[in-house]
Amino acid sequence: MLHYWLEFEESIGKVWDNYLNRKVHKFHEEQKVYFEDISKSLNIFHRLMGGEKAKELQITDKRYVETSRTLLQKISFLGKEFFLTWQDEESVYLPASFAYFSTKEENEMLYYWLVAMATQVENVTNHNLIEQNLKAMHYLTKRYSGFDIFYKQSSQYLMDKYEQLSFLKSLDEQSNQDLTNDYPNPLWIYPPAITLNYANNIEDEEQEEPIREEGKDKSEELHMKKQTNQIDDKHETDGFLAFLPESLMSIFEQVNVDRCEDDSFDEDALYHAEDLDEITIGQKQANLSARIKMDLELLPDTTVLYPLGKGHFIDEWDYLKSEYLVKYVRILPQVTTNVIPTELPVRLKKTVRKIQGELDLLQLDRIKNDNLPYGDEINIDSWIEYFGHQNKSMHHQKFYTTFEKKTRDMSTLILADISLSTEGGITQEVRIIDVIKDSLMVFSEALEKLQDKFAIYTFSSLQNKKVYFNIIKNFKDKYDALIRGRIDTIKPQYYTRMGAAIRESAKILDKQQSANKLLLIISDGKPNDEDRYDGRYGIEDTKKALEEVKQKGITPFCITVDLDAKEYLGYLFGRNGYAVVRDGQKLPKVLTEVYINLTK
């Protein structure tokens, strides 16, 4: 009997839930259109409508809005959160899906309408919400008949279906502040500030932030913009727990525990250590600081990154002000000392031999001149023609061939990004930084074969105060075992302030007397840093730096292992100015092939 009443209660609950959903949501779920399905078309449309090239289209999440609600919305605890379309300096944020209208075509058209609106509004705030949206709406409806038909039909449909949107009939009587807290209009662009809740007025304090290790902790990426609620968490009294947290793991239990290993304390560890002929030392940090003190025969790392002076300052482009920040970035040149000269690794010799064989087939190093009165060797064809001629006295005795060395008037600077993200693995055994080092060695061997002038530099950064510019090989340096040793000591460092590194490289290349100059950049991700450089600011500064490079007659080209690079490299380097290497382990071979094709 009890079971029957439980089932009956559950059935009544389902019916009530379905009823509330139909009355409150009023969505056409079967006609829903998803952003991901049409994102490529929307991006193209955004560019065609005059949208900023550096801006991306992204997904936004629900936002809390204090507005009037119907009785059913209050009963069902719904009507507080809405999907609002908005934009900032970096992106346009759209809902993940739309199901307002009864057809998929209309729901899809809503996406195109909002993208077009985003290209026309400028700096929407709580004080100009009505003016900006009406201005954009009038422009689109007057210029495009399709938008005019859509807007009239959709706005009328929404007002009929959602009584809260009746304010659209009398916008002249409404104020911006009233509409900020009123029922959101799906056809409008809203300001970012409408979604920000500040629990406290936190004063800006200039203090040095702790250095974050880029790429150290990997996590799954959330592909949407989440709502932010800022609180003041500086008070130490906020952490009181009024219950006994027996189910919570302590930090000791959470951090650095490998469940596949036996991490119990070994009381016989000293005996086992004495019994071993060789002890293998791992890289992972244990939970305990030490168990056994021992003297091991380890090769000490004597290499030192030696700073060359106190550094110098260069400019940086601020796209918001459309002007340069004069002497804003500090460049710190440095070189690795106490390097052990290194021979070419055995694993790379096969690749180097193959590439050098291809260079021999291209015959880039010699020019053949025929029909000469003297030379290196006899051209047998010319000699036979001479002896077969009837009147030898009238025939020139030019049957020699000579080979002249072809000099390629080319200077190439390789600039490698060694930010902390290069610590990431391509496979379980191979890291990105390992592939970059192999590529630099193979590439150097190829250029040495061609006898082309080249230099190698790496870079990383810590805000604008410290942009480390590491010298691996200058143009005047001879490529030898010492240079290979420097390449072998390269380690991941900090962040990627690419614009500054490009400007510094351009200064070095500009001093070369070669007719052709190539800046070859190896990177694994977007320009970024701890400060505002992480985002559109960094993209725009890098683009400006590349424009400066081209004005100096230098050809920039980027090779990356970032599979998402097409989203920003096309904007930075142009359609034919970059190459994406999908298999990172092929980077050494691809780097050389790209160079040969660029410099033929």
Domain boundaries in the chain? 17-197, 312-358+408-599, 366-405
- Say what the alpha-carbon torsion angle 150, 152, 155, 157 is, to the nearest 10 degrees: -90
Mean pLDDT of 171-191: 68
User: Which residue, chain included where needed, has tokens 């507005």?
Assistant: 67
Reported residue count of the chain is 600
Per-residue pLDDT at 209: 42
| Alpha carbon distance 499, 317 (integer Å) | 9
Per-residue pLDDT of 336-358, as tens digits, reads: 888 888 898 888 888 888 887 77
- Does 287 have pLDDT greater than 50? no
Q: Going by C-beta distance under 8 Å and a sequence separation of 6 or more, which residues neighbour residue 310?
A: none
Q: How far is CA 113 from the centre of its chain?
A: 29
Say if residues 416 and 522 touch (Cβ distance below 8 Å): yes
Number of other CB atoms surrounding residue 221 within 10 Å: 5
48: its two tokens: 């065609």
232: its two tokens: 């003041």
Per-residue pLDDT at 314: 92
Per-residue pLDDT at 407: 60
| Alpha carbon distance 283, 518 (integer Å) | 39
Angle 570-571-577 from CA coordinates, rounded to 5°: 45
383: its two tokens: 């000699």
Q: Going by C-beta distance under 8 Å and a sequence separation of 6 or more, which residues neighbour residue 168?
A: 155, 158, 159, 185
Please state whether 309 falls in left (phi above 0), alpha (psi between -120 and 50) or beta.
left
387: its two tokens: 């002896």
Q: Reduce the DSSP state of residue 530 to 3 states and report it.
A: coil
| Alpha carbon distance 420, 415 (integer Å) | 16
User: Quick one: the chain helix, strand, coil %, rounded to 5?
Assistant: 40, 20, 40
Mean pLDDT of 149-169: 77
Q: How would DSSP label each residue in 485-515?
A: HHHHT----SBB-HHHHHHHHHHHHHT---S
Number of other CB atoms surrounding residue 128 within 10 Å: 15
Q: How far is CA 334 from the centre of its chain?
A: 26
Question: Which DSSP category does 154 fall into?
Answer: H
- Does 307 have pLDDT greater than 80? no
| Rounded percentage of the chain residues whose pLDDT exceeds 90 | 18
The yes or no reply on domain 312-358+408-599 and CATH 3.40.50.300 is no
Per-residue pLDDT at 508: 93
Question: Facing residues of 421 across strands?
Answer: none
